[in-house]
Amino acid sequence: MKISAVVVTYNNEKKITGCLESLQGVVDEIVVVDSHSTDLTRKIASYFTDKVYRHSSTDYAELKNFGQQQSAFNWILSLEPDERLSRGLKLELLKIKQRPDEAEGYYLPRRSFYLGRWVRHSGWYPNRRIRLYRKDTGAWVRDRFRVSLNFSGQAGRLKNPVEHLAFSSIAEHLNYLNRITGRRAQEMYLKGKKARFYHLWLWPVFRFFGTYFGRGGWLDGFPGLVISMLAAYAVFLKYAKLKEVWKKGERIEPVSYSQ
């Protein structure tokens, strides 16, 4: 069993080194697809692999599928530039490579580092996704608002996590929420949904308590409190934007990968 790691990049010079270093000695090749970075991302990636491709598309699904097409091996490990393999996951992958089972893909948990500590609750963990899969069983697809892996095989689960360096600051987290709530508001608008009084006043409160107490945010200390508060804020913002769209009749276009 040989594995091709596929990483899509855009201006990730601060994080790409850790990602690619973690793949050394585990995967059999690294494929990097860059969406016209203007920093040193491509140069750094070239230190780790000769398969660094520059692609003109900003469609994330297209970039992922292109990287998959350039891979030499039948097993794909999909990783993001701000992620890396944990030590335990490296050992687990090496074991699977030596003694593969009948699975055609694997769900991997993801553990995020945020505001100075690893988040182990708050709804952020284990956040399992299929990251390792046979090339003939998976392809990336998108509708107007989302990109996802269309997987058609039998999936198993790995125990050890991918490590994720989450938002470097609360401001970066807020910028992300501003983008994603706009897209979600537009999605609801196109489905004919409207923002009611309880959406704006009650649902954010429910989301806070659900995240902080129901999902164990309180166990994550200060990061857990921030995550819970911002989760509530995101609910309010989504419905406030939905109300704004209905009032103005404006459409919010989906954000491309490089934006």
Contact 119, 112 (CB under 8 A): yes
| Statement to judge: residues 175 and 203 lie in one domain | yes
Q: Which of 80, 95, 191, 173 lies closest to 127, judged by CA?
A: 80
CA–CA dist 210, 128 (Å, integer): 20
Domain-embedded: residue 205: yes
The C-alpha angle 153, 90, 54, rounded to 5 degrees, equals: 70
pLDDT score of 63 more than 70: yes
The C-alpha angle 76, 129, 215, rounded to 5 degrees, equals: 160
Domain-embedded: residue 258: no
In this prediction, residues 229-245 reach a mean pLDDT of: 96
Instruction: Give the CB-side neighbour count of residue 9, counting CA atoms within 13 A.
Output: 35
Last residue of a domain, one of 165, 196, 230: 165
pLDDT score of 57 more than 90: no
Condensed to tens digits (0 to 9), the pLDDT of residues 6-49 reads 999 999 999 999 999 999 999 999 999 999 899 999 999 999 99
pLDDT at 258: 46
Condensed to tens digits (0 to 9), the pLDDT of residues 123-160 reads 999 999 999 999 999 999 987 778 899 999 899 999 99
| CATH number of the CATH domain containing 62 | 3.90.550.10
Domain-embedded: residue 211: yes
Please tell me whether the overall predicted TM-score, pTM, comes out greater than 0.75 for this model. yes
pLDDT at 259: 40
